[in-house]
Amino acid sequence: MKRVFLIVLDSVGAGALPDAALYGDEGANTLAHTIEGGNPSLPNMAAMGLGAIPTIPYAVPQDAAGAFGRAMEVSAGKDTTTGHWEISGVTLPKAFPTFPDGFPPEVIQAFEKAIGRKSLGNYASSGTTILDELGEEHLKTGFPIVYTSADSVFQIAANESIVPVAQLYQWCEAARKILTGDYAVGRVIARPFVGEKAGAFTRTPHRKDFSLDPTGLTILDALVAAGFYTYGVGKIEDIFNYRGLTDSIHAAGNAACMQEWLLSMQKDFEGLVFVNLVDTDMIYGHRRDVQGYAASLAAFDVELGKAKAMAREGDLILITADHGCDPTFHGTDHTREHAPILAWTPGMRGLIDLGTRTSFADIAATIAELFGLKERFGAQSFAAMLQH
């Protein structure tokens, strides 16, 4: 292969993992329940073998061509950073810490000292809910809103009319330095918003994540070291803290990210384009919006059709997910699920069953083998199966 386009459909899980009960997620199946509840039109994914993945109820066309399968997550947890790192070859034996009851006083006090003012909140909440609860007080005091969720995150919200985005980013950098050791959350997230009163606050596209560096070698690192091009689209630069990226663009939202993906297909390079499509998770999964989730998948499928039409000999389109976020499930948290795998190259004939992979890192191992690299990240490549 000369070019690999790795697309992560954020949260589009393919059924509960064997250990899902440990996370309260037994019975979750993001893809199946979205298909059943939202009836999205997904002809291009279907043509790659979507409905042949176990538990996914979608018709398989007679002329389907592609490789299909699913992968189990080895790492503990079910968050974005953990899933993406394992896809890239880094497996975590211990989950990132979470703070469902808020952060301890020593963390908040250190943060307030660093920014020179008090803070509001410090509890787990939906990002839109907490703005309605504390947004007006924030406008009166100028104190930032600190909150978390079921994920390993320290989120800081501030209204752009009183806290410039650059200043909010500085506050996040200060928090990132404080959140180490037992408090080392996966991400510190800047959540700028606008609006003047409860019910009218809206978050802006200026969100920015401040992540930890990956704790091991990633496929991005290996490709760059070997002289290949790597391009991160969307949240990739945040998730990997810019490491292992030749180039990146923080396009906001699926439409913009898909446009950048298609634009990258017009360029001449050898290497990897790594795309995160976040809307399924952030806008629809956490909000438990089945119809919106289904529509988002259908919109992706249209762009997938365009990408397949643009693909050249030596291209591989590889689709997966980082965790689940079943829009029909209880609560608003991610769900512990298999990641689907769909792969396609021009000229591929018939369907190839990749089976149930024992690690998300099989994707990193596969990409490494396709580019002639020695790294396998403790995983098993399925590169040879793609070339049958």
How is residue 207 written in tokens? 């969100």
Taking the C-alpha atoms of residue 23 and residue 324, their distance in angstroms, rounded to an integer, is: 12
pLDDT at 18: 98
How is residue 349 written in tokens? 């004939």
Residues whose CB falls within 8 Å of the CB of residue 13, separated by 6 or more in sequence, listed in order:
28, 29, 30, 31, 321, 323, 324, 325, 326, 335, 337, 338, 339, 340
Taking the C-alpha atoms of residue 365 and residue 386, their distance in angstroms, rounded to an integer, is: 13
pLDDT at 388: 59
Q: Is the dihedral of CA 355, 288, 90, 343 positive or negative?
A: positive
Residue 8, φ and ψ in degrees, nearest 5: -100, 110
SS3 339: strand
Taking the C-alpha atoms of residue 297 and residue 314, their distance in angstroms, rounded to an integer, is: 26
pLDDT at 331: 87
| Cβ atoms 361, 367 nearer than 8 A | no
pLDDT at 385: 96
Give residue-wise pLDDT tens across range 192-235.
999 999 999 999 989 998 989 999 999 999 999 999 999 999 99
Low-confidence ranges of the chain (pLDDT < 50): none
| Cβ atoms 96, 77 nearer than 8 A | yes
Closest-CA residue to 108 (of 192, 171, 186, 151)? 171
Rounded to two decimals, the pTM is 0.90
List b or e across 160-176, with b for residues whose CB sees 16 or more CB atoms inside 10 angstroms.
Answer: eeebeeeebbebbebbb
Domains of the chain, start order? 3-92+215-386 (3.40.720.10), 105-211 (3.30.70.1250)
Residues whose CB falls within 8 Å of the CB of residue 163, separated by 6 or more in sequence, listed in order:
142, 144, 192
How is residue 183 written in tokens? 């408090």
pLDDT at 126: 85
